[in-house]
C-alpha cells in the first residue's frame, strides 16, 4: 500500500477517499459500519511476518462515523496481507445474521499467509453466515483477478480516480441492493452486443436519469448497474438506428435483467485501387426510408443493426447501392478510385457536366462554377461531356461541348 499513485501513496489515497465516503453515509437510515484493518501493527522483517496482524479497530455501532474517520487517519501500512484470516474474523464482527451484512475488502496484494481466502469464503457460506463480500484491488496485476472471484464481487482500481469511482459504485451496490443488467442480444439471443451509449429517461418524460456506455465485464457478461427502482424508465440504446424500450419497471431488492434485441454487423465502403486517400462521404439510410442514419467516410467501418440499407455514395456521379447487414459480419462495398477533370478557359464560362450511361444517354452531374475561368472537379471513372458557353456570347448557338474520359488516380486537362 506504500506504492505511489502520482503525488500520493496508495494508503494515503485510500485513507482520504474512505474518509470522504464515510462522510456521505451519515444520513443513511438503518446503517451501521465498522472498521477492521490488517497489516498495520507488525512490520515485516527478513525472517518474520505476523499473519495474525488483523484487528477490529472500530466495532459496529450507531453514529460511529466520526470514530471510523478518526481511526482511518492514523493507520499506517507496515505488515503482511492476511486476507483469509481477516475475512473470517470480519464475518464474526457483525452483531447478528438477521441484517444485510456487507464486507468491503480493500487490498493491493494477494494472500501472503498460509490460508486460502477461497476456502474461508466457502466455509462461511457452508456455515450459513450471511455475508456479501466486495473486493477492491488497488493497482493489481489483472492476471490475479481469478484469485478473488471465489470471495465475491471484484473491482479493480488502477488509479486514484478509478478507486474513487469504484468505491462509490461498491457502496451504492451495498446500500441500494437493487441492481440491473442490460442484455443487448445478438441474432442468436445471446447478450454479446456491447460498446454503445445507453440513455435511461424517466418513463414518459425527457428527464435523463442515467447515461452508460454498455460494457461486458471481465467474465463476458453485461455489467451490473445501480439504478433507482422507485421510477419507471424509457431506455434508448444508441445503435444505428437506435433501439428503444418503454416503461421499464425494476423489482426492488433483486437483480433485474433488461433484454433488448440489438443484433449488429458492419458496413465498410472502400476504394479498390486508390493510390492516395480521397475524402468522400457515404449517406446511410434504412431501405425504403429517406432519413439519413449516418454519414460515413470511405475507408471507415461503422456498426449497424442487422437489416437492409440503402447507400448513397457522394461521388460524382452519385453511386446508389442496396445491401444487407448480417450478424457480426462486415459487408464491404468496393468502388473505383476517382480521377480529376481540370479545365482552363480564356473567358468566363457557364456550363454543366454530364456522364454517359451504358445505353448512350447522358445524365447531369454538376454545374461548373458560374462565371469561372478554371476549376478542378473530382469524378468517378467513365465517359463525360462538358456543355458550355462563353458568358460574353448571348446566343444559344454559341453552345460548345467537349467529350472526355476520366481514369482512376489521373487528371484529365481541358483547355478551352
- State mean pLDDT over 207-233: 90
Question: pLDDT category, 140, cuts 50, 70, 90?
Answer: low
Contact 315, 303 (CB under 8 A): no
- State mean pLDDT over 322-338: 97
Q: Report the chain's mean pLDDT, rounded to a whole number.
A: 87
In this predicted model, what pLDDT tens digit does every residue of 4-43 receive, in sequence order?
A: 666 777 788 878 888 888 888 877 777 888 999 988 888 8
Number of folded domains that form the chain? 4
CATH of the domain at 103: 3.40.50.410
Burial label, 87 (beta-carbon count in 10 A; 0-12, 13-18, 19+): buried
Alpha-carbon distances of 300 from 268, 280, 305, 332, 408, rounded to whole Å: 6, 11, 17, 11, 20
Query: What are the two backbone dihedrals, phi and then psi, of residue 160, each rounded to the nearest 5 degrees?
Result: -60, -45
Contact 72, 11 (CB under 8 A): no
In this predicted model, what pLDDT tens digit does every residue of 348-382 receive, in sequence order?
A: 999 999 999 999 999 999 999 999 999 999 999 99
CATH of the domain at 299: 2.60.40.1120
Question: pLDDT category, 53, cuts 50, 70, 90?
Answer: confident
The residue from 335, 355, 385 where one domain ends is: 335
Percent pLDDT > 70 in the chain is 91
Question: Is the predicted pLDDT of residue 133 greater than 80, yes or no?
Answer: no
**Is 163 in the same domain as 257?**
no
In angstroms, what is the C-alpha Rg of the chain? 33
Question: Is the predicted pLDDT of residue 141 greater than 60, yes or no?
Answer: no
**Is 171 in the same domain as 215?**
no
**Angstrom distance (rounded) from CA 352 to CA 324:** 35
**Is 154 in the same domain as 219?**
no
In this predicted model, what pLDDT tens digit does every residue of 303-327 receive, in sequence order?
A: 999 999 999 999 999 999 999 999 9
Which of helix, strand or coil describes residue 309? strand
Question: pLDDT category, 46, cuts 50, 70, 90?
Answer: confident
- Please state whether the peptide bond connecting residue 241 to the residue before it is cis, i.e. omega within 30 degrees of 0: yes
- Lowest mean pLDDT of 107-116, 220-229, 306-315, name the range: 107-116
Q: Could you tell me which residue, 156 or 195, shows the higher pLDDT? A: 195
**Angstrom distance (rounded) from CA 236 to CA 406:** 46
Burial label, 93 (beta-carbon count in 10 A; 0-12, 13-18, 19+): middle
**Is beta strand 264-271 parallel, antiparallel or unpaired with respect to 362-367?**
unpaired
Q: Could you tell me which residue, 190 or 164, shows the higher pLDDT? A: 190
**Is 282 in the same domain as 366?**
no
pLDDT of residue 322: 97
**Is 30 in the same domain as 65?**
yes
The residue from 335, 360, 395 where one domain ends is: 335
**Is 321 in the same domain as 343?**
no
**Residue at grid coordinates 439471443:** 189
Question: pLDDT category, 159, cuts 50, 70, 90?
Answer: confident
Contact partners, residue 149, CB within 8 Å, separation at least 6: none
**Angstrom distance (rounded) from CA 87 to CA 67:** 22
CA-based angle 23:90:57, to the nearest 5?
55
| Residue 271 belongs to domain spanning | 264-335
**Is 195 in the same domain as 309?**
no
**Is 70 in the same domain as 114?**
yes
What's the sign of the alpha-carbon dihedral 314, 318, 322, 326?
Answer: negative
Contacts by residues 390-397 (CB-CB < 8 Å, ≥ 24 positions apart): 390/345, 390/347, 390/348, 390/349, 391/347, 391/348, 391/349, 391/350, 392/347, 392/348
> Of 161, 177, 163, 239, nearest to 30 (Cα)?
177
Amino acid at each position: 500500500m506504500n506504492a505511489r499513485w502520482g503525488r500520493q501513496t496508495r494508503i494515503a489515497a485510500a485513507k482520504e477517499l474512505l474518509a470522504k465516503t464515510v462522510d456521505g453515509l451519515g444520513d443513511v437510515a438503518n446503517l451501521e459500519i465498522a472498521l477492521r484493518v490488517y497489516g498495520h501493527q507488525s512490520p515485516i522483517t527478513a525472517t518474520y511476518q505476523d499473519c495474525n496482524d488483523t484487528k477490529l479497530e472500530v466495532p459496529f455501532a450507531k453514529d460511529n462515523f466520526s470514530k471510523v474517520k478518526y481511526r482511518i487517519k492514523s493507520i499506517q501500512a507496515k505488515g503482511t496481507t492476511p486476507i483469509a484470516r481477516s475475512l473470517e474474523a470480519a464475518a464474526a464482527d457483525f452483531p447478528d445474521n438477521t441484517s444485510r451484512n456487507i464486507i468491503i475488502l480493500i487490498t493491493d496484494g494477494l494472500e501472503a499467509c498460509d490460508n486460502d481466502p477461497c476456502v474461508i469464503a466457502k466455509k462461511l457460506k457452508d456455515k450459513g453466515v450471511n455475508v456479501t463480500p466486495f473486493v477492491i484491488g488497488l493497482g493489481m496485476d489483472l492476471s490475479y483477478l481469478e484469485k478473488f472471484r471465489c470471495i465475491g464481487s471484484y473491482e479493480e482500481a488502477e488509479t486514484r480516480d478509478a478507486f474513487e469511482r469504484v468505491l462509490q459504485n461498491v457502496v451504492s451496490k451495498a446500500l441500494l441492493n437493487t441492481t440491473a443488467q442490460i442484455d443487448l442480444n445478438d441474432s442468436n439471443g445471446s447478450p454479446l452486443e456491447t460498446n454503445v451509449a445507453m440513455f435511461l429517461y424517466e418513463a414518459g418524460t425527457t428527464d435523463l436519469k442515467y447515461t452508460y456506455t454498455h460494457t461486458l465485464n471481465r467474465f463476458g457478461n453485461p455489467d451490473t448497474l445501480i439504478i433507482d427502482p422507485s421510477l419507471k424508465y424509457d431506455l434508448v440504446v444508441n445503435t444505428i438506428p437506435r433501439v428503444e424500450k418503454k416503461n421499464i419497471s425494476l423489482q426492488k431488492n433483486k437483480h433485474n435483467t433488461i433484454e433488448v434485441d440489438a443484433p449488429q454487423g458492419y458496413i465498410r465502403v472502400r476504394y479498390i485501387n486508390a493510390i492516395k486517400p480521397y475524402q468522400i462521404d457515404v449517406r446511410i439510410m434504412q431501405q425504403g426510408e429517406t432519413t439519413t442514419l449516418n454519414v460515413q467516410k470511405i475507408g471507415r467501418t461503422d456498426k449497424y443493426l442487422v437489416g437492409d440499407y440503402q447507400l448513397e455514395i457522394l461521388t460524382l456521379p452519385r453511386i446508389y447501392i442496396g445491401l444487407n447487414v448480417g450478424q457480426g459480419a462486415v459487408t464491404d462495398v468496393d468502388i473505383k478510385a476517382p480521377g480529376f477533370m481540370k479545365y482552363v478557359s480564356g473567358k468566363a464560362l457557364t456550363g454543366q457536366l454530364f456522364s454517359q450511361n451504358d445505353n448512350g444517354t447522358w445524365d447531369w452531374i454538376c454545374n461548373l462554377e458560374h462565371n469561372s475561368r478554371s476549376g478542378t472537379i473530382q469524378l468517378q471513372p467513365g465517359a463525360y461531356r462538358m456543355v458550355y458557353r462563353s458568358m460574353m456570347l448571348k446566343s444559344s448557338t454559341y453552345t460548345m461541348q467537349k467529350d472526355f474520359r476520366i481514369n482512376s488516380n489521373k487528371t484529365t486537362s481541358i483547355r478551352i
